Amino acid sequence: MDGRLVDTRIFRVSQPGAPHLHECVVEFKNAAGEAVRLKVKQTSNAVILPAIGAKVPLLVSGDDTKAVFDKHDPRINTSALARARKQAEQERFDAELRGKDS
């Protein structure tokens, strides 16, 4: 299910250079169509959060009282985003090597 990232803050930093814990407010529509807002905590090494107001993939409990980010969704998964960025860089580099008119 997709929700919306309403707000986020850094909740805890254990030590410099280590992953930090984000605390986020997300909003989604439940089965009855009602807007529900929940707090979600997530470490910075598992996902890359989009801008506030953007869609975020969520896994929500059946009673709509708990939610977590869907870490396997390629839109926020750090590994998937890194692979996509590397692929885009390679394609851009190869296009430049061939010449823009090729």
Q: What is the pLDDT of residues 61-81, one digit of tens each?
A: 999 999 999 998 988 998 888
When divided into structural domains, the chain yields a total of 1
Domain of residue 50: give its range: 2-98
- How far CA 62 is from CA of 70, 76, 89, in Å, comes to 15, 23, 41
Nearest to 11 by CA among 40, 37, 38: 40
Half-sphere exposure of 99 (CA within 13 A, CB side): 2
DSSP alpha helix (H) spans, 1-102: 78-98
Distance separating alpha carbons of residues 13 and 84, to the nearest angstrom = 28
The whole-angstrom separation of Cα 77 and Cα 85 is 12
pLDDT tens digits, 38-53? 999 988 787 888 999 9
